[in-house]
Amino acid sequence: MDISDWLVGIDTGGTFTDLIGIDKNGKIIISKIPSTPTNPSNAVISALEYVDGSISEVIHGTTVATNAVLQKKGAKIALITTKGFRDVLEIGRQNRLDIYEIVPSRAEALVDRKYRIEIEERVIADGSIETILTETELNRITEKIKMLISHENIEGVAISLLFSFLNPKNEQSIIAALETSLNSDNKLFPISISSNVMPEYREYERTSTTVIDVYVKPLISTYIRDLNKRIKETGRIGSLAIMKSSAGLITPEGVMNKPVETLVSGLAGGIQAAELTSRLTNYQDLLTLDIGGTSTDVAQIVAGKGKIHHQFNIDNYPVGTASVDVVTIGAGGGSIASLSAGLLKVGPESAGADPGPAAYDMGGDKVTTTDADLLYGVLPDYLGDNILELKKERSKVVINKLASEMDISIKETINGVRRIFHENIAAAPRSVSTERGVDPRNFALLAFGGAGPVHAVELAELLDMKLIIIPPYPGIWSAFGLVGADYRYDLARGVVISITSLHDNEAELIFAELKERVINQANEDGIDLSLDYYFQYSLNMRFKGQSFDLEIPYSESLENTRADFIKIHRKTYGFAAEDEEVELIAFRVVMVIAHPDPIFQKWKIVEEDINPIGTREVIGLGGVSVYNKSQFGWKTKIRGPAIIDQIDTTTWLPPKWELEVDEYGFMILEKEDLK
C-alpha cells in the first residue's frame, strides 16, 4: 500500500469518538468507540487502530478547547490593557442572560481582577498615538509579569489595548519585550495580542476573544503537540489537520498559533456533512439535527450552504472569530430524567460517557433517554460493532425507581421521558427556523448523530415537517464532513469610516494587503499552495449610528457594494434608509485551499424484497420488524413500523411512515398520507 491509501476523519464527542476512513477506491470503514475525556487523544489513537494500512491524512474535529471553556479548566492567565480598562471583561454589555432576573448575573471573568494589569499608553479613535508607551513602562510591565509567573503560577498573558485594531504598534512592542524576557530553550510562553486574534471594532468582544485564545492555548497546544507526535510515531500516517470553527482545515502549527479558532471545531464537521448531503441528494434547504450523547446541534442550510458568522457566544463569553452558525442545547442520549418540584424533567444534566446511562453498566444510576429508548424497544442489545452491551436489567431498575417516585407505571414513565425529551429537542430546530422567520415545513430534516435517527420521525411530527433524510452513516456523519473540508484562512482589518471617505483603489489596496498576509500565513503553516485556491472578499457595513452591521460580499466597487448593502438590509430588517450615511466596519479576506474530495461510491440496486432479521417488542405496537442497513441498496423501500440497525446507529420508522434508499445510500423518509 502507498501512503495515499486512506483518508481518515475523527470526530471526538462527549460520549463517543467516531472514525470514518475512505480509501482511494471509495471503500469505507467506520468505527465508534467510547471517548476518553481525561485524555481525548487516547480514543483517537485507539480508533486509528481500526484502519488497516497506511493513512495519507487524519482530519480531526476536537472539543478540547470547547470543554476547557465550559468546564473552566483553562490556563491561569494575566491581562494587560490600557489604563482605565481593566474591568471591561466584567462591565461587558448591558444584555441580560435572563431578562426576568431581579439581580442580573454575568459570566465569571476568566481573568482574576488582581491579574489584570493597566499600562500607561493610549491610541485614540483615528489610530494616532496620544500617550506614548515608554521604555520605563515596558520594563515595569515585564517585571510585573515575571513576578506573577514565579509567585502566582501565571501560565499565559493576553494583551488587549484600546484601538489596537487601528494601530497595533503598542501591542507589538509589549509582546516583543515579553517574548525576549520570557522565552527560553525554545519554549514559547503563551501570549496573545488582540491585533492578531481579533483586529476589529468593539473593545469588549476583542478583549474577550483574546483572553479566551490564551486561556485555551496551553491546553490545546499540549494536546495537539502530543497527538501529532503519537500519530507520527505510528509510522504509517502522513499528516494531521484540524477542523476550525469556520468548517475549514488548519495545520497543527496553525492551531497552536490561534487556538480560539477551534472553539466549535466539533460542530463544524456536521455543517460540512450537511452541505455534502445537499449536493448529493439535491435537497437545497435543510434543518440539521445532530443528536449526540450529551448535546444536540442544529443549523439551517439554505441553497446548499450553511451560514458563517463572525460573532458567537460560548458559555456567555463573546468570541469574534469565523464560525459556523450552529445552535447547541444540552439534551442528548445521555440526558438525565429526574423529578423537580414534583414534575418530570429531562436534561440538561447528562450522564456523558462516564458513567453513562444505566444500561452501560458502568456505574450510572440515573434514568437517561437511552435507557428509555432501550426499554421502549427501539434500540438493539449492543452499540457499535458489539463494543458496548446495553443491559436492560440495569435500565429497568432505575426506571422502576423513577416510576415509583411518580406513582405511575413503567410504560407511562418511559413514554413520558421520551415525550419530554422530544419537546426539549424541538425547541432547537425552532430556534433556527420559526424564530428566524422561516417555516420549518419548507425544509427537509437531516437527522444524524448517534441518537438523531432514533428520534427523527417523532420530532418531525412535532414540527409538522414532511420529509426526513438519514445519511448512509448517520452516527459518524460529522466525521464524514471532516474529510470533505478545505483548508481555510480568515483575516480581517477593522475600520470605522464613512464609505464616502474611501476610494475604490484604497479599498483594493487594503484587500491586497490582507491577501498577501493570508498567503504568508498559509506558507508559514506549511500548506501546499500548488493546490487550487481562491479568495473571497467582503465588507462589514452599517448605517451610521447603528450598533450592529451586515457582512456584504465586495462587488467590484464601493458603490456597487453599498447598493447591495441597501438591498440586504431591506431584506433582513424590512427597511433601508437609502439616503443615510453608510460606515465601513471591517474588510475581510478568506482564502480557501482546495482539499481533494473523497470518492463517494453509488450503491448497488437492490430491487428484491428485504426480509427482516428479527423483531423487537415496542411499547404499544408489539413485535416490530428489524432490518440491517447492510441489506439495503439503491431503491430499497420499507414501510413502518420498522427498525433499521447499523453499526453506528439505529433508525426508528414509526407506523404511517416509509423510507426509500437513494443511489448514495441516503434513506428518504416520508409520511404515507403526505406523499
Question: What DSSP designation does 284 have?
Answer: -
In-domain check, residue 208: no
How confident is the model over 322-376, as pLDDT tens digits?
Answer: 999 998 887 888 889 998 888 899 888 888 767 889 999 888 899 999 999 999 9
Range 380-384 contact pairs with CB under 8 angstroms and sequence separation of 24 or more: 380/616, 380/626, 380/645, 380/650, 383/32, 384/16, 384/31, 384/32, 384/33, 384/647, 384/648
Are residues 128 and 44 part of one domain?
no
The band of 596, judged by pLDDT with boundaries at 50, 70 and 90, is: confident
- What would the mean pLDDT of 252-279 be, rounded to a whole number? 92
At residue 99, the pLDDT reads: 76
Is the CB of residue 352 less than 8 Å from the CB of residue 293? yes
The band of 4, judged by pLDDT with boundaries at 50, 70 and 90, is: low
Nearest to 252 by CA among 241, 261, 263: 241
Are residues 83 and 179 part of one domain?
yes
In-domain check, residue 106: yes
Helices (H), 239-368: 252-257, 265-281
In-domain check, residue 440: no
The band of 13, judged by pLDDT with boundaries at 50, 70 and 90, is: confident
In-domain check, residue 130: yes
Question: What DSSP designation does 674 have?
Answer: G
End residue of a domain, out of 147, 172, 189: 189
In-domain check, residue 408: yes
pTM here is: 0.87
**HEC string for 453-506:** HHHHHHHHHHHCCCEEEECCCHHHHHHHHHHCCCEEEEEEEEEEEEHHHCCHHH
CA 115 – CA 77 distance, rounded (Å): 7
Are residues 104 and 40 part of one domain?
no
Which helix (H) or strand (E) segment is 48 a member of?
A: helix 40-48
In-domain check, residue 197: no
- What would the mean pLDDT of 620-641 be, rounded to a whole number? 94
How confident is the model over 388-399, as pLDDT tens digits?
Answer: 789 999 999 999
CB neighbourhood size of 91 (10 A)? 10
Are residues 644 and 557 part of one domain?
no
End residue of a domain, out of 189, 213, 242: 189
At residue 353, the pLDDT reads: 67
Say if residue 612 is exposed, middle or buried (CB neighbours under 10 Å; 0-12, 13-18, 19+). Answer: middle
At residue 294, the pLDDT reads: 77
In-domain check, residue 469: no
How confident is the model over 400-454, as pLDDT tens digits?
Answer: 999 999 999 999 999 999 999 999 999 889 989 998 888 999 999 999 998 999 9
The band of 385, judged by pLDDT with boundaries at 50, 70 and 90, is: low
**Tally of structural domains, the chain:** 5
Does position 105 have pLDDT exceeding 80, yes or no?
no
In-domain check, residue 97: yes
The CATH number of residue 32's host domain is 3.30.420.40
Are residues 618 and 562 part of one domain?
no
Are residues 577 and 549 part of one domain?
yes
At residue 33, the pLDDT reads: 84
Does position 185 have pLDDT exceeding 60, yes or no?
no
Residue 427 CB contacts under 8 Å (≥ 6 apart), including other chains: 329
Is the CB of residue 296 less than 8 Å from the CB of residue 456? no
Does position 239 have pLDDT exceeding 70, yes or no?
yes
CA 633 – CA 103 distance, rounded (Å): 59
How confident is the model over 486-528, as pLDDT tens digits?
Answer: 999 999 999 999 999 999 999 999 999 999 999 999 999 888 8
Does position 2 have pLDDT exceeding 50, yes or no?
no
The CATH number of residue 545's host domain is 3.30.1490
CA 209 – CA 79 distance, rounded (Å): 12
Are residues 87 and 184 part of one domain?
yes
| Structural domain containing residue 143 | 76-189
